[in-house]
Structure 1
Amino acid sequence: MTPTSGQAASSSRLTASVVAAELARLTPRDRLLLDLLDQHQTFSTEQLVTLAFGSVGRARNRLNTLYGRDILDRFRLFHRPGSQSWRWTLGPVGAAIVAAGRGDAMPRPAAVRDTTARLAMSPRLNHLLATNGFFVALTGHARATTEAGSGVRLARWWNEQRCRDATGNLVRPDGHGVWVTGGRAVPFWLEMDLGTEALQRVAGKLTGYAALGPRRAYPVLFWLPTAAREANLHALWSRTGIPDGVAIATGADDYAAANGGPAGPVWRRPGDPARVTLADLPGTRDGAAWDA
């Protein structure tokens, strides 16, 4: 993750005039990338292709250009076999542009690079990428179906911190979204499970959701790595019960891979072996408020 000599030199001369000049060169898609990275920290190249480009070649060309101008930064870890794809973050200039847009002080380039280094070594990096990947998949599905003439969209996507602020720290969802199909909205909390926690701990998260007030009593979606682990979680719930007033559904990444992803008919509700689409889960109709 050591910057090139050119990057280091440009970062050391970062001034308001440099930021203003780069701001004038940004395209609407560049601004979208900065906003996404500001909110969600990091994405892989493949995730950014889905979010903003649609073509790997176009994505690589533009991302590399923005990297060369210190607007974006990137890292990847060595592993065998093959090469890990780049993980992209805000670079010093990009972070300064975001700060300027909020009226905040311009961050020091060294501090921005330190943040990227800590993220690259964070034990929660895979969890963050998986959570972002869930919402990226929904965004990609919405784009594809909208192009085909269907009114589907991800109307809201909150990160973990925004969720904690909205719930008063009663729960710690990994994300929150609102999935809209036609005139019907399905708001949800997301719990991303990578199979690293005991199932009792996963199931125990429902206690906090039961304490949420009616304004935030959205369905809780558990996304698990395998259908086998998903079945074990349902078996645990059948023995322990589910807190009153909490709606739940589960999906499994390995099953969803061949069945339309998280938007598809991959969701199981307790006591019901049938799988339904995300749009079929409990929601609101005809523009009824989902955050009133």
Structure 2
Amino acid sequence: MSSLLRGRAGRVTQAQVWELAAHLTDRDREIVVTLFEQRVLRTDQVAVLFFSSVRRAQDRMLFLYRHRVVDRFYPAAPRGAGKPQAHWLLDDAGAHIVAACLDVDRRALHWERRSDWGAHRHLAHRLGVNGFVTRLVAATLKAPGAGVARWHGPGAVARVLPGGLSEKPIPDAGVQLSTPAGRVECLLEWDRGTESGSVLREKLYRYRRASDDARGGTVANVLFVVPSERRVETLRRALVDADRPSEWDLVREHWEYWPLLVTTTGELDDAGPLGRIWRSVDQSRRSPLALVDLTPPPDGEEPVPLADCLGRRWRKENPEFWARLSPLTARR
């Protein structure tokens, strides 16, 4: 552990938290709750979600860092690549603020400060997931009528999925997309090609069980992002293996109810998350879809006002921006 991390490892007192609370805005509170759910965000990702520029994000995150609300690290970069972006995560004062925002005891968060995120084995996966969602938010800022209404981390989204605890799928993220036709629920699986076919088969089986339990209720689109076309075929074979041929009619009906869609990271890089790049895993649909083309459930909720969607809520053109930004009007 570096000397800087050792110097920040002590507990923040309740008195310090109360004093700090008078200087926090609603935006600060949303930032720390997001970091609690999503674990780690780069500066550019924080900027997309909460600021109008990277510079403004840097300035405010530095304030929160100095007051132990957030912590940061800089992962190693190849020689000559320049200094990497700061990677932000929750710190001790931030955990107290999250507990107050969620109205739970601080100990009920089950949060512990970590000093090893720079070398953590799940860092690349978490950054991939969070990068996808923040790219989606950024893309909706240029798409008329589309916005990301909600973003839940794996723990939060798994809790609301139907089924028993031992059989629930645990998506990497849950995203609610607001379109002119209504709200579309999406569950993200960020696949780096490291899991075996048997693990994929078990994952698909769990999604099938969850969708059967949700029949007549929740409708979700399961989005797989995979590294290559070869991995697409692995996923398709796992789908066939997960369902016996004698059940094919039921399976087809099931996957129409909870569509399984896939794209590759190459297609994602070329066209962006809102491009027509999403193919059905079972090949039941010939033409790729865009996420804004997905059909909301017939009894679904109305679209969320764009001003309330992620990335737009904290932009200056939002009529409530300045009121939300003032600590004097923030919720205590």
- Do the two structures share a fold, i.e. TM-score over 0.5? yes
Which range moves more in the overlay, 167-176 or 98-107? 98-107
Deviations 1:154-210 (A, max 9, x none): 222221112222233321221222212113222122211011123453244211111
Matches within 5 A, 1:1-292: 2=2, 4=4, 8=8, 11=10, 14-81=12-79, 82=81, 83-106=83-106, 115-145=113-143, 150-167=144-161, 168-169=164-165, 170-212=168-210, 213=213, 214=215, 215-234=217-236, 237=239, 243-244=251-252, 245-246=254-255, 247-259=259-271, 261-269=272-280, 270-271=282-283, 272-285=285-298, 287-288=300-301
Give 1:42 shift.
1.2
CA contact (8 A) 1:250 1:268 kept: yes
- 8 Å CA contact 1:183, 1:286 repeated in 2: no
Q: Do the aligned partners of residues 240 and 4 (structure 1) sit closer, same or farther apart at CA in structure 2, a change above 3 Å counting?
A: closer
- What amino acid is aligned across from residue 41 of structure 2 in structure 1? F
Give the direction of change, closer, same or farther, for the CA distance of 1:121–1:5 in structure 2 (3 Å limit): closer
Query: Deviating runs (4+, > 6 A) in structure 1?
Result: 238-242
Alpha-carbon distance in 2 for matches of 1:4, 1:210: 48
Alpha-carbon distance in structure 2 between the residues aligned to 1:15 and 1:239 = 54
Q: Which moved more, 1:116-125 or 1:52-61?
A: 116-125
Cα deviation, residue 223, structure 1: 1.0
Provide the rounded CA distance (Å) in 1 between the counterparts of 2:202 and 2:149. Answer: 29
Q: Distance in 1 between matches of 2:289 and 2:233?
A: 16
Q: Following the alignment from structure 1 to structure 2, what is the Cα–Cα distance between the partners of residues 256 and 103? A: 38
| Distance (Å, rounded) in 1 between the aligned partners of 2:91 and 2:58 | 16
Q: Within 2, Cα distance between the matches of 1:47 and 1:103?
A: 27
Q: Give the whole-Å Cα distance in 2 for the aligned partners of 1:204 and 1:5.
A: 40
Amino acid at match of 1:99: A
Instruction: Give the whole-Å Cα distance in 1 for the aligned partners of 2:225 and 2:261.
Output: 9
Deviations 1:227-259 (A, max 9, x none): 443355346657876744022110112111121
- Structure 2 residue identity aligned to 1:163: V
Cα offset, 1:286, TM superposition = 7.0
- One-letter amino acid of the structure 2 residue matched with residue 88 of structure 1: W
Give the counterpart letter for 1:165 in structure 2: R
- Counterpart in 1 of 2:326? none
Separation (CA, whole Å) in 1 of partners of 2:140 and 2:8: 39
For the 8 Å contact 1:227–1:255, the answer to whether it is kept is no
Percent identical across equivalent pairs? 27
C-alpha spacing 1:117/1:223, structure 2 compared with 1 (3 Å): same
TM-score of the pair, normalised by structure 2: 0.73
Higher relative contact order (CA 8 A, sep 6+): 2
**Secondary structure of the structure 2 residue equivalent to 1:25:** coil
Q: Comparing both structures, which one devotes a greater share of its residues to strand?
A: 1
Deviation, structure 1 residue 61: 1.9
- Superposed CA RMSD in Å reads 3.0
Which residue identity is paired with 2:75?
L
Q: Which amino acid aligns with 1:4?
A: L
Q: Which whole-Å CA distance do the structure 2 matches of 1:119 and 1:267 have between them?
A: 32
Q: Structure 1: any 5+ residue segments left out of the alignment?
A: none
CA gap of 1:126–1:240, structure 2 versus 1, over 3 A, is same
Count of aligned positions: 279
Q: Whole-Å Cα distance in 1 between the matches of residues 5 and 209 of structure 2?
A: 53
